[in-house]
Amino acid sequence: MKLYDGGRAPNPRRVKIYLAEKGLTVPMEQVDLGQMAHKSAEYTAINPIQQVPALQLDDGTIICESIAICRYFEALHPEPPLFGRNAKEAALVDMWQRRMEFRLLLQVAHVFRNSHPAMKEMEVPQVPAWAEANKPRVMEFLAVLDRELKDRPFIAGDRYTVADITGLVGIDFMKPAKLAVPDTMSNLKRWHAEVSARPSAKA
């Protein structure tokens, strides 16, 4: 088994935080995104979409997409449960995981990829207007999160889950995108400080 990793990029980081929460160690091979190694013929043969991470199983099977990789390990190592303990919890975790992915992480990525000078070679063409269009969408969703976190400790309920992992990575990704959580969002800031203090956040 081997995990093709992409350093501090958001999606590989999600998998590494998940593995750290599970106490699992998986052999890794670094894919140098700065050198465009994910575009190489060798890596394209592993993942034709040319994205990281990718998990290669011992039988040669390749699993791509961060949440798919996490679900694979969840089935093998169900404790501690990071996708919910029963049908209701699993549905709520999935609901919030999707929201964190599509309404936070993806929109922050649009801002970063279309505004940061370092992304010019990867995001062709860069569309600065699209970056600007997504900034208020990020803030609108952050306001929703702040209200939701008023009455519960974690994104999907009273337990830390994969939704918190995606949320943490999304909020942290705001820094290179030159975005920030407003000081008025005290519930969101409390949550972010607490999940950032978990040892897994250093993964």
Give the pLDDT of residue 117. Answer: 83
69 inside domain:
yes
Is the same domain home to 29 and 99?
no
What tens digit of pLDDT does each residue of 37-78 get? 999 999 999 999 999 999 999 999 999 999 999 999 999 999
Is the same domain home to 22 and 92?
no
Question: Is 72 within 8 Å of 55 (Cβ atoms)?
Answer: yes
Is the same domain home to 111 and 63?
no
Give the pLDDT of residue 126. Answer: 81
Question: Is 68 within 8 Å of 47 (Cβ atoms)?
Answer: no
Give the pLDDT of residue 8. Answer: 86
Q: How far is CA 175 from the centre of its chain?
A: 14
What CATH number corresponds to the domain at position 41?
A: 3.40.30.10
81 inside domain:
no
126 inside domain:
yes
Full residue range of the structural domain in which residue 68 is found: 2-76
Mean pLDDT of 151-175: 98
131 inside domain:
yes
Question: Does position 112 have pLDDT exceeding 90, yes or no?
Answer: yes
Is the same domain home to 68 and 131?
no
Mean pLDDT of 70-98: 98
Is the same domain home to 107 and 18?
no
Is the same domain home to 153 and 62?
no
CA distances, 157 to each of 20, 27, 60, 92 (Å): 21, 32, 37, 8
Last residue of a domain, one of 14, 44, 76: 76
Kindly give, in sequence order, each residue whose CB lies less than 8 Å from that of residue 68, ignoring residues fewer than 6 positions away. Answer: none
96 inside domain:
yes
Is the same domain home to 126 and 190?
yes
144 inside domain:
yes
Last residue of a domain, one of 57, 76, 95: 76
17-26, 34-43, 121-130: least confident range: 121-130
What tens digit of pLDDT does each residue of 125-161 get? 889 999 999 999 999 999 999 999 999 999 999 999 9
- Strand ranges of the sheet holding 62-64, from the earlier edge strand across to the other edge: 28-30, 2-5, 54-56, 62-64
Last residue of a domain, one of 54, 76, 98: 76
Kindly give, in sequence order, each residue whose CB lies less than 8 Å from that of residue 166, ignoring residues fewer than 6 positions away. Answer: 14, 97, 100, 101, 104, 105
Is the same domain home to 116 and 176?
yes
Number of domains in the chain: 2
Is the same domain home to 189 and 92?
yes
Mean pLDDT of 171-195: 98
158 inside domain:
yes
Residues paired with 55 in a beta bridge: 3, 63
Is the same domain home to 113 and 132?
yes
Give the pLDDT of residue 119. Answer: 84
Give the pLDDT of residue 170. Answer: 98
High-pLDDT (> 90) share of the chain, %:
91
Question: Does position 7 have pLDDT exceeding 90, yes or no?
Answer: no
If one compares 108 and 36, the residue with the highest pLDDT of the two is 108
82 inside domain:
no
Banded pLDDT at 124 (limits 50, 70, 90)? confident
If one compares 68 and 203, the residue with the highest pLDDT of the two is 68
